[in-house]
Structure 1
Amino acid sequence: MTRTVHPPKLVPGDRVAVVSPSAGLPALFPRPYELGLHRLRTVFGLEPVEYPATRKMGATPGERADDLHAAFADPAVKAVFASIGGDDQITVLPLLDRELIRTHPKPFFGYSDNTNLHAFLWNTGVVSYHGGSVMVELGRPGAMAPLTAESLRAALFTTGPYEVKPAGFWTDKARDWADPATFEAEPETRRGSGWTWVNADRVVEGRSWGGCLEIIGRLLMADREVSHDPAVHDGGVLFLETSEDMPSSDEVFHTLRNMGERGLLQRFSALLMGRPKAWSFERPNSSEEGARYAAEQRAAVLRALKMYAPDTMAVFDVDLGHTDPQVILPYGGVIRVDGPARRIIVTY
């Protein structure tokens, strides 16, 4: 197994790269992007550095790889943030210089399509951080969600254990970034109902892996950045979440079934399942429809676990993905899932 490296932590005043390894959406929606840059400066005391493809829609995979190489190689840059996700980052992976990135490890923040880069970094031996995109979490209308800001600050500047807590209030609804009125107030939220635990009779502590379920499925299909030796995940903690594409319960089950048939799903001792995003502009579900979607997804996950990993401990509705607020998880770092105490503790 590749030796795991925790990149150095930041201090206020550090320069951080802002790149667009997937879609160059800062070019189309400058308002949330500029707000995210502003908060990097004013909330976290960091100085963002942009690159040629950061604000470029339609940048080639080569241009995006060049930006990543420049960001990781620059000794003055101490971390790398993705502006947002997209849908074709998998085409960038073959162009990346693994040795350059291995010898210049830096904290990388992003999620969704950035699961591709997280998986690449996992195989490179570099711990990264799932969550915290510039346009969404940092560019949130009104103010950053306190739970998000607290965990992002801890991931950036501190080492050691950090306890993840359920969100007291949350939302999965988005508003139109093209409308200036969107940014005049914080999103409306609803009261949270905590986590749901399954097989919570033990304590699991292991190295984490996972991310956006749809992207994991594509990596499996392309046979890219998923180890051919499932034993590397023995005793680990799998975390998964679904995007605004809102995959059907059948697709969720089929992806997990494929992981099971590959001998992968059953290697993990615990699964953290993100709260499903059950609303999109294309499918603006009512609360009742959203609850039904979430229930069907949970049933699909439990069905797959029953088939391949019936003893795995599972926690549902963890705020780790495309819903708001979002907790930052170490990707490749240690996560402790304490079933009897109903606690989740990550190590930043």
Structure 2
Amino acid sequence: MDAPQYPPKPSPGDAVAVLSPSAGLPGVFPVPFELGLRRLSDHFGLVPVEYPTTRRPDASPRERADDLHAAFADPAVKAVFASIGGDDQIRVLRHLDRDLLRACPKPFFGFSDNTNLLVALWNLGIVGYYGGSVMLHLGRPVRMDPYTADSLRAALFTSGPRTLTVPDRITTAAGDWADPATFTREPDTEPATPWTWHNATRRVQGPTWGGNLEILSWLMMADREIQQPSAYDGCVLFLETSEEMPSAAEVYRVLRNMGERGLLQRFGALLMGRAKAWHFDKRYDARERAAYRADQRQAVLRALGEYAPDLMAVFDIDFGHTEPQLVVPVGGTATVDGPARQVTLTY
């Protein structure tokens, strides 16, 4: 399979669609959603356009797919944003008009459950963007994180290579969106630890593929969107885990099964996101957060040791469910330079 192609990018002043292909949470939590819409306009100069199911928690998979089709088919809309993730986008896949999507390629921004659509676009030869959540990152209390905003602006409006950096600080805990006080103060943060490198002996370049580990495991269980192992030869795999905070054992099992399927061995390098290590039902302190991330790292290394012992890996890059959030082009070129300890993404 040829590497996916970058669709045309928007410019300030353009209209962009804002959809809910997974969950209509803007209808439940309007405050972060409307804050995100204002920042799309005020910070990025874009004109957000909502669709019928954007604020509907009860929208059917067919209705959500219809909104996607309408947004991609509209020549006035220059990019498409998911409001947030969820857990039901896999049921939208069967309703996608793939010929329409292929004929009208546009940048799609989303993460978490939007792994479903991003992988489907990858299979159609279209680069998408893992990141840019309207509610979570654009709708961050008080202000967008500057590191997030800088990455999103680069993904939206620029082309060419961009070398990644480690942020100064990362968010540790979030407020309850149902509590108005949440939006009066910035989330708690702590200093960011540096990346951890494994087998950093060479330089690898290839198109990216991946997303949220749990969602990819669902796609494999449902036998949806996963190609033959040879389709991923030389690609750079990127993975991260969600706010559900899967155990180290579960992370190992998913990667083990990818190895058994013959997938894990095909990639040229692995980029592993910094694991989200706090949620409302797991309010970990600093020691517990560090231990959770260390356990996950060891689980990944165990799977690599068994199935891809020579694979180069970089841990704790800030994409996915992290805050701040780097936007990763899905199907775009990544260069992982072990000796130089550098990761470069091409937007």
TM-score by length of 1: 0.98
- Per-residue deviation, 1:33: 0.2
Residue 275 of structure 2 is matched in structure 1 by 276
Cα distance in 1, alignment partners of residues 4 and 126 from structure 2: 6
Residue 150 of structure 1 is matched in structure 2 by 150
Residue 240 of structure 2 is matched in structure 1 by 241
- Per-residue deviation, 1:83: 0.1
CA contact (8 A) 2:111 2:133 kept: yes
Cα distance in 2, alignment partners of residues 12 and 18 from structure 1: 16
Residue 334 of structure 2 is matched in structure 1 by 335
> Cα deviation per residue 1:211-242 (whole Å; 9 max; x = unaligned)?
00000000010010010x21121111000000
> Cα deviation per residue 1:242-294 (whole Å; 9 max; x = unaligned)?
00111111110010011001110011111000000111111111221121111
Cα distance in 2, alignment partners of residues 2 and 149 from structure 1: 31
- The reply on whether 1:27 has 2:27 as its aligned counterpart is yes
CA contact (8 A) 2:14 2:47 kept: yes
CA contact (8 A) 1:253 1:303 kept: yes
Residue 36 of structure 1 is matched in structure 2 by 36
Q: How does 1:245-324 map to 2 (within 5 A)?
A: 245-324=244-323
> Cα deviation per residue 1:58-102 (whole Å; 9 max; x = unaligned)?
210011000000000000000000000000100000100001000
Residue 226 of structure 1 is matched in structure 2 by 226
Q: Look up the SS of the partner of 1:143 in the other structure.
A: coil
Q: Look up the SS of the partner of 1:279 in the other structure.
A: coil
Q: Look up the SS of the partner of 2:206 in the other structure.
A: strand
Residue 125 of structure 1 is matched in structure 2 by 125
Q: Give every structure 1 segment of 4 or more consecutive aligned residues whose post-TM-superposition deviation is greater than 3 Å.
A: none
> Cα deviation per residue 1:122-179 (whole Å; 9 max; x = unaligned)?
1011000000110011001111111110010011001101111111100242111111
> Cα deviation per residue 1:299-337 (whole Å; 9 max; x = unaligned)?
100000000000010000000111100000100110001
Residue 193 of structure 2 is matched in structure 1 by 193
- The reply on whether 1:326 has 2:334 as its aligned counterpart is no
Q: Look up the SS of the partner of 1:189 in the other structure.
A: strand
| Greater displacement, 168-177 / 209-218 | 168-177
Letter in 1 for 2:252: F
Letter in 2 for 1:82: A
Q: Look up the SS of the partner of 2:220 in the other structure.
A: helix
Residue 4 of structure 1 is matched in structure 2 by 4
Q: Look up the SS of the partner of 2:343 in the other structure.
A: strand
| Greater displacement, 169-178 / 131-140 | 169-178
| Greater displacement, 229-238 / 11-20 | 229-238
CA contact (8 A) 1:199 1:313 kept: yes
- Per-residue deviation, 1:56: 0.3
CA contact (8 A) 1:24 1:59 kept: yes
CA contact (8 A) 1:2 1:124 kept: no
- Per-residue deviation, 1:185: 2.0
Cα distance in 2, alignment partners of residues 310 and 237 from structure 1: 15
- Per-residue deviation, 1:48: 0.2
Segments of structure 2 that go 5 or more residues without pairing to the other structure are none
Cα distance in 1, alignment partners of residues 256 and 172 from structure 2: 27
Cα distance in 1, alignment partners of residues 188 and 288 from structure 2: 18
CA contact (8 A) 1:20 1:84 kept: yes
Cα distance in 1, alignment partners of residues 110 and 192 from structure 2: 24
Two-structure CA RMSD over aligned residues (Å): 0.8
- Per-residue deviation, 1:38: 0.1
CA contact (8 A) 2:152 2:326 kept: yes
CA contact (8 A) 2:27 2:55 kept: yes
Letter in 1 for 2:119: A
Q: Look up the SS of the partner of 2:207 in the other structure.
A: strand
Residue 82 of structure 2 is matched in structure 1 by 82
CA contact (8 A) 2:172 2:187 kept: no
Q: Look up the SS of the partner of 1:170 in the other structure.
A: strand
Letter in 1 for 2:267: F
- Per-residue deviation, 1:3: 5.8
Cα distance in 2, alignment partners of residues 17 and 11 from structure 1: 14
CA contact (8 A) 1:5 1:105 kept: no
Q: How does 1:151-190 map to 2 (within 5 A)?
A: 151-190=151-190
